[in-house]
Amino acid sequence: MRGWVRVDAVDGAPGGWLQVRIEGRLYEGNNCATTDLDGTGVRFVWLPPNATTTHTFRVKNTDEGDDYIDYKLVMQN
């Protein structure tokens, strides 16, 4: 199994807040180079100015089995 995550931040919100888009993917196969995509997820979070926050994000295997991958992101604005 392997995971993939992409984080995009959009600035320019009033008061210095950032909107963050988190996209995660779960691939499962016989090796780490697998392209067998078995789960995806997207989450949006807001980061206040001058703060550090921790967000956990789970992507479940929606194709087969009960597998999942957890991402833990520490973000600072």
Kind and range of the H or E element at 37?
strand 37-47
CA distances to 35, 37, 48 from 1, rounded to whole Å, are 10, 10, 34
Rounded to whole angstroms, the Cα distance separating 74 from 41 reads 18
Q: What is the pLDDT of residues 51-61, one digit of tens each?
A: 999 999 999 99
Q: What is the pLDDT of residues 31-73, one digit of tens each?
A: 888 899 999 999 999 999 999 999 999 999 998 878 899 999 9
- pLDDT given at position 40: 95
Locate tokens 């016989």: which residue?
30
Read off the pTM: 0.83
- pLDDT given at position 14: 79
Rounded to whole angstroms, the Cα distance separating 25 from 69 reads 9
